[in-house]
Every structure is written in C-alpha cells, then in structure tokens.
Amino acid sequence: MYTALSKAGIILFIAICIAACDQPRDRRVAHEQLGVGQNSDRNNFSSNGQPNSGPSSSSDRDGVDYDIINDQGQGSKSSGQIPNEISHCRWPSISGGAFASEHQHIGQYTVCQSTAKDTDVYIQVRHPITDSTLCLIPTYHSGNKAIFIGEPRCFEARNSESVYRIGLLKNRPGYSNFNVTGVMIMRDRAYFYPYPFNQYLLSPDAYLFCAEWLDRHNDPSYCQAFDAVGQYIYHRF
C-alpha cells in the first residue's frame, strides 16, 4: 500500500511526465517543477561504462573527413583533424581503432569532455540509435555521490560516423558553479520501473524524479528501482 504522500508524489510525477513529452529535445524537467533542496543526491550510482577491449571497429583512417553535429542536428564536414580539445579521446570514425567504452544499453561508444569547456561533451556511438533520442545529464561526483546539476540534453544519434557535440546546461538551482565531472547517458525511452514506481516511465524522468525524491524525503527506494532496471550509463570523466 502506498502512503498518502507516495500517492501524491506519483500523481504529481505523472503530470510532469505528460508535460515533458511536449518538448523531447530540451524539455524543462522534473526538478524545475518540483523545486530543489540544497542537499546532495545520495544515489550511490557507480560508473558502469566499461572500457572496450574488443577488436578495432575499423582500419586506420587518419585524416578522414567526418561530421561534428551539435545537439540541434546541425553541423558540417570536418577537414579530418581532431579538435585539440578532444584529441585525448579515441574516435574510430576519424582515426580508426576501437571505441573507448561499451555498455549493453547503447553498445560501444566514446564520450569525451572538452578540455576547453567542461559543459561541452562529444559522443560517438558504433551502432546508430533509431528508436529514440539519446540523452545526457551532467553530474558532479563527490565521494560516492553522483549529483545531477542540470537538465537532460537529448539528440538524435542516427549516424555512427558522426561525432556529436552536446552543450550541457548547469541550470539546477544552487549548482551552477559545480564542475561537470560525469554524465548520465540514457535513451529517452519508456521502461517499466518496479515498486515504488510500478509503471512505465521515460528513463530521464524516472532518474530525475528518484533523485528529487531522495533529496526531499531521504528515501532511496525510487533510485533503487531505477538502478535495478539498468537502462542507463553513468560515465565519469
């Protein structure tokens, strides 16, 4: 049996999810409508993007032209030179070799933080994602805590040859001065989340609700349910 407080929370969350569906790319997310406390999220998510030790996905391709696409779907062909700000990462579509990481949620991928600006994150996936958009949520890591510091940025990752540049937002009230030290990566798809959710929810909304609920009520049950489904990647830079 839900408590009255839990019922009220679920009803409010459903309303938030309905509103969120109107703006799938840069929607104003649950934390802005629920209000935010100043406590850190104690969700204890551990980095789960594993290093990719598999074979190279392509042959040596030094100097090959490639696309850098921003999160609005706009971009242009590059001259084949990797920008200095992301030259420390592995980009198979540019220079060959293997992707840096892999996870069952999206397969092999490289995600890289710019050395010039902590909110600029670049990502490439080996397998195009055609059934949903892909979302990145900026986080700050402190001890065993992963604290989200801004809303999801969602984009279409439909081309495995493209490198996508995502401009993250640090717009969670009280967290604008925090550095981005990681990202939550997840498809903008609905999954069934068990008790206490007991319903299908878009994964970014489920995550943000669990973090807010934990912040407000010191109750980890929603984040435990989110984590149990496993449809996300927490990647620390």
SS3 of 51-65: the string is: ECCCCCCCCCCCCCC
Show Cβ contacts of residue 21 under 8 Å, excluding neighbours closer than 6 positions: 27, 202
Looking only at the bridges linking them, the beta strands covering 50-51 and 101-103 are antiparallel
Q: What's residue 59's pLDDT?
A: 35
Peptide bond into 196 cis (omega under 30): yes
* Single-letter residue type at 147: I
Omega of the bond prior to 24 within 30 degrees of 0, cis? no
DSSP state of 113: E
Domain extent listing, the chain: 4-236
How does pLDDT run across 163-199, given as a tens digit for each residue? Answer: 999 999 999 999 999 999 999 999 999 999 999 999 9
- d(CA 40, CA 212) in angstroms, rounded, equals 10
Candidates 50, 158, 46; CA nearest to 109 is 50
Mean pLDDT confidence for 196-222: 95
Q: What would the pLDDT profile of 128-171 be if each residue is shown by its tens digit? A: 999 999 999 999 998 777 889 999 999 999 998 889 999 999 99
